[in-house]
Amino acid sequence: MTDPITPPAAWAPPQGALGDRLKAWVRGPARKYLAIFGWLLLLTLIEVGATFFSMPKKTLAAFLIGTALVKALLVALYFMHLRHEVRLILAIVVLPMLIAVLFFFGLFPDIVVGPRAAP
Amino acid sequence: MSTVAHAPAHEQLHRTATGVDNHKLGMWLFLASEVMFFTGLIGSYVVLRLGSKEWPDPSSILGVNVLALNTFILITSSVTMALGHQASEQGDHRKAASLLAVTAGLGLTFLTIKLLDYRHLVHEGFTITSSLFGSCYYLLTGFHGCHVLGGVVALLVLMARARGKNPPKPAAVESMGLYWHFVDLVWIVLFAILCLV
């Protein structure tokens, strides 16, 4: 399975001043990973910033969980290369998640109708 | 899983019946069990939280800025890990070893900050027995911390091998990377649902 993120093996670090080499490296093999890093950083800052705004608790919770899921998806798709994985690997990842979510929602009736625990 | 029987000897290491490298397949199967483990823990936390009449505001107890710094450290370590794998695939084992060392260093920094955070919280009276939230916080972050520690040890072993005469195959570095990114992914979720919401 080839990894489209990984640049071709023919890529070689350019010669020259350290600044030029660093610039070439950032524009070359590291570009994709640094872009994802930037997005993850931005989303984390947005998450932390959102807690300082006064908004309804449920809206804030939904926003924070949504942002966290987007971040988790970015890590899984790009750093873990799930975006380009074969079906077998996708099945190995998705099936336990589906089962776990099913079990999780199976507990929901306990929350809705069960006795409330002490804090 | 067996390798393809009639493949030439030098290809048998890479060709498998599933088309997926054995290291990688093994790691994904392990991660599948880890998904179940952490979903069980997080699911219990959500059920306990939603089932409680009152729940404290996490930001009033936890140092959100410190935990955000830890998030930044772990995200950065994921980038260095990915770049380490890339260097290993390009055959630059020296660079790969350096990037693995940086990743391990960032992991250790994460753990140090976490321990200092625990110390501060215990000093403030927030312990594992002080409330339901305390139990959930220490249990979830504690198990995650154990995973980070395990990852740091494995990274150091891999780094030592990368510096030696018999460097690890890129597939081994990739498997390590998968584990490390998973640990990062779990923290991203924990940070949001445990520390911010």
The ipTM is 0.85
User: CB distance B39–A101 less than 8 Å?
Assistant: yes
Whether A99 contacts B37, CB under 8 Å: no
Instruction: Kindly report the backbone phi and psi dihedral angles of residue B41, in degrees, each rounded to the nearest multiple of 5, phi listed first.
Output: -65, -50
Q: Rounded to an integer, what distance in angstroms lies between the CA atom of residue A26 and that of residue A35?
A: 10
Q: Is the pLDDT at A27 greater than 70, yes or no?
A: no
Residue-wise pLDDT tens digits, B85-122: 999 998 889 999 999 999 999 999 999 999 999 999 99
Instruction: Check residue A98 and give its pLDDT.
Output: 87
Residue-wise pLDDT tens digits, A63-76: 999 999 999 999 99
Q: Is the pLDDT at A52 greater than 80, yes or no?
A: yes
User: CB distance A119–B86 less than 8 Å?
Assistant: no
Q: Return the biggest CA–CA distance within chain A.
A: 70
- pLDDT under 70: residue ranges of chain B: 1-15
User: CB distance B47–A111 less than 8 Å?
Assistant: yes
Give the nearest partner residue to B79 out of A34, A88, A93, using CB atoms.
A34
Instruction: Check residue A24 and give its pLDDT.
Output: 67
DSSP category for residue A83: G
Q: Rounded to an integer, what distance in angstroms lies between the CA atom of residue B188 and that of residue B133?
A: 19
Instruction: Kindly report the backbone phi and psi dihedral angles of residue B6, in degrees, each rounded to the nearest multiple of 5, phi listed first.
Output: -95, 5
Measured between beta carbons, the chain B residues lying within 8 angstroms of A37 are: 75-76, 78-79
Exposed (0-12), middle (13-18) or buried (19+): which is A4, by Cβ within 10 Å?
Answer: exposed
Measured between beta carbons, the chain A residues lying within 8 angstroms of B54 are: 119
Whether A78 contacts B16, CB under 8 Å: no
Q: What's the whole-model pTM score?
A: 0.84
